[in-house]
Amino acid sequence: MALTSNTKKIHKEFEAEALPHMDILYNYAMRMTGNPDDAHDLLQETYLKAYRFWDKYEKGTNIRAWLFRIMKNTYINLYRKTVKEPDTVDYDEIKNFYNTIKDESADPNDLQEKLFGQLLDDEVAKALESLPEDFRTVVILCDIEGLTYEEIAEFVECPVGTVRSRLHRGRKLLQGKLFEYAKSRGFIGKD
């Protein structure tokens, strides 16, 4: 094994393998940090780290998952804020509201429009950012990125069943959060 490595060749190989996945990683970085500057920093730091540890990557394994794990660890080191479990949400209140308006509008899109239509995209993003990291990660990967449960399980290194339960809990927390926003902005009546 030669000690002084051919850095040019390694560089080419790294670029060919890793650069095509910058899109998905940027999207994840955006949704995790919530702003373009931090997303840029996180993405760049992830790629530099991946480059330095390139010989630790096992050829032929899922490179997206490998890059994703580096990003997740980098994020945890750089940005970990203590995200508390959101305050308890009165889900019955949501359900009651849902029941009162569902008869008026049979079309679910219509219902969604009524409930959340006036929320700003920023508020939806903020609600997502408020989720604890484990839940937020699976929600981003499934609902925004469109990965399958199996792929997510590989990314986050946990069983498919755990992905399913985190996803369910994450969506539920989000539902409470969005409802709260809608209520505080007066889109949804207090009673």
Partner 1 sequence: MNCSQVYELISEAVDHRLSGDVMREFEAHLSKCGKCLSEFKAEEMIKSVLQYRLPRAVIPSEVYNAVVGALAREQQSQQRSWFASLLGSPILNPAVAFVLVITLAVGVYSLFSTSSPKLPNDKNIISQSIKNYAAVIAGNIKPKIMSHDAGDVENYFKKDVSFDVSVAPTNGCDWCGGALSEFHGVKFAHIVYKFGGEHNVLYVYQTDLEEAMKGEKIGLPAKAKDALKKTGWYFEEKPGKYNLVMWKQKHTLCTAVSTMGRQKMIAFLTGTGE
Q: Where on the chain is the footprint of partner 1 (CB under 8 A)?
A: 1-5, 7-8, 11, 14-15, 19, 22-23, 26-27, 30-31, 36, 39-40, 43-44, 47-48, 51-52, 55-56, 94-95, 98-99, 102, 108-109, 111-112, 115-116, 119, 121, 124-125, 128, 139, 142-145, 149, 164-165, 167-168, 171-172, 174-175, 178
Q: How far apart are CA 72 and CA 133, in angstroms?
A: 10
CB of 82 to partner 1, least distance (A): 24
Q: Closest distance between partner 1 and the C-beta of residue 66, in Å? A: 16
Q: Which CB, 82 or 144, lies closer to partner 1?
A: 144
| Residue 13: alpha-carbon gap to chain centroid | 28
Query: To which residue do tokens 């409470």 refer?
Result: 176
CB-based contacts of 101, cutoff 8 Å, min separation 6: 111, 114, 115
Cβ-based nearer residue to partner 1, 17 or 82: 17
As measured in angstroms, the least distance from the Cβ of 164 to partner 1 is 5
| CB of 51 or CB of 157, closer to partner 1 | 51
14, 17, 15, 38: which is closest to 26 by C-alpha?
Answer: 38
CB of 60 to partner 1, least distance (A): 19
Q: How far is the CB of 80 from partner 1 (least distance, A)?
A: 18
Mapped onto helix, strand or coil, the DSSP state of residue 68 is: helix
Cα 33–Cα 80–Cα 45 angle in degrees, nearest 5: 60
Nearest to partner 1 of 171, 183 (CB atom): 171
- Alpha-carbon distance of 43 to 25, in angstroms, equals 7
Q: Which is nearer to partner 1, 82 or 122 (CB)?
A: 122
**Residue 150 burial by CB count (10 A; 0-12/13-18/19+): exposed, middle or buried?**
exposed
